[in-house]
Amino acid sequence: MQTERRACRRVAVSIDAVVYYSSLMLPDCHIRDLTPEGAFISTRGHFLPDRALVDLAIQVPNGGTQQRFTAQVMRSTEEGVGIRLQDANPATLRRLIEALYAA
C-alpha cells in the first residue's frame, strides 16, 4: 500500500471544470477530489506534462461566480492529473467547498 503524502484530507467532489494549458483549452474536465492544496482532475484522456503550469476555472453551482486558480501538474495518468494549487487563498477555497456542499 502506498503511503499518503497529503498534509490535508481529500474531499470527494463532483465539479465540472475547464483547464487551460498554453494555448490548449480542455473544457470537459471533472474534479474528483479536492484539498486546500490541490485536486485530482479527470481530463477525459488528454495528457498534460508533469510540472506544467495550468489555469483552472471552476463554475460554482447555483449561480455562484467562477473561481480561477493557477496550479502545477504534479502527476499525469490516463485518468487525469493531480495538481497542486499555486498561491491559492485558503479562505477562497473554504468558501468554494462550502458552496459546493450547499448546492
As a whole number, mean pLDDT of residues 69-94 equals 88
3-state secondary structure of 21: strand
* 69 found inside a domain: yes
Task: Please write the tens of the pLDDT for every residue from 9-42.
Answer: 777 888 899 999 999 999 999 999 988 888 999 9
Question: CA 28, CA 88: separation in Å to the nearest integer?
Answer: 23
Band of residue 54 on the pLDDT scale cut at 50, 70, 90? very high
CA–CA distance from 45 to each of 22, 30, 41, 69 (Å)?
18, 12, 11, 22
Task: State the residue range of the domain holding 71.
Answer: 11-102
What CATH number has the domain bearing residue 61?
A: 2.40.10.220
